[in-house]
Structure 1
């Protein structure tokens, strides 16, 4: 089962706003994105279910997930789908174009790691004895 590192209450505290109606899905998706693109490259102690055992790490991951959801809401793309489907587009006298490599959605704002995620994960409270960003261990 996929881990979800933040709750609806965490999101409301983080943003100061009421969570969107689909907050459960958004938190799960953001947690999965961070697991696959960031957290798999970090070192921290986990319990048998894969959740961090240190409260500061739990709090940082919750903040990172909330930041990722907030980013998706701000850019209007929580899935990356907004970046799919066109390389060049012309409507009347307006022409938009981008590299054909951009048509997969991988570089869409909805697939980017939010800048505030890095703020959460680079907190000075996350000392090397409890969390290492970018550490690959075996």
Structure 2
């Protein structure tokens, strides 16, 4: 598992609701989204790649919680399918009504509040912290 920037307790504090079932999985996927959005960002990390500056730690936690909050509000489970299709079935596979969203497979559909948390902390690509 990769780096996870927020805990279920932080998610609960962010949303004001109990953490949903599977919160750890949702936070792990949201942390991957945050990592993908910050591929070119520079900030101090420890040996495990976790941020060390308190403001950076908080910004990544906030962005991760905002990403999960957004995914829950849009009915996404962290896979990205809900952001791209009106309806998805798995057996025997049925997709319908493609929505606007990231246009390339590697694009990140970052939540607006997650983007703002990262921008306010100066963590967007090209910014040195």
Shared fold (TM-score, shorter chain, > 0.5): yes
Q: C-alpha distance in 1, partners of 2:110/2:96?
A: 22
TM-score, scaled to structure 2:
0.77
Q: TM-score, normalised by structure 1?
A: 0.72
Q: What's the CA shift for 1:135?
A: 1.4
Which residues of structure 2 form unaligned runs of 5+? 86-94
Cα distance change on mapping 1:71 and 1:132 into 2, 3 Å: closer
**Displacement over 6 Å in runs of 4+:** none
Q: Distance in 1 between matches of 2:22 and 2:50?
A: 23
- How many pairs does the alignment contain? 113
In structure 2, the residue matched to 1:47 is 46
- Residue correspondence of structure 1 range 87-98 to structure 2 within 5 A: none
Q: CA-to-partner distance for each residue in 1:40-76, whole Å, 9 max, x for gaps? A: 1211111110011101100000000000000000011
Residue of structure 2 equivalent to 1:135: 126
Is there any run of 5+ residues in structure 1 with no aligned partner, and where? 88-97
Larger radius of gyration: 1
Q: Contact between 2:44 and 2:51, CA under 8 Å: does it hold in 1?
A: yes
Q: What is the 5 A alignment of 1:9-88? A: 9-36=9-36, 38-78=37-77, 79-82=79-82, 83-84=84-85, 85-86=95-96
Q: Is 1:121 matched up with 2:118?
A: yes
Higher helix share: 1
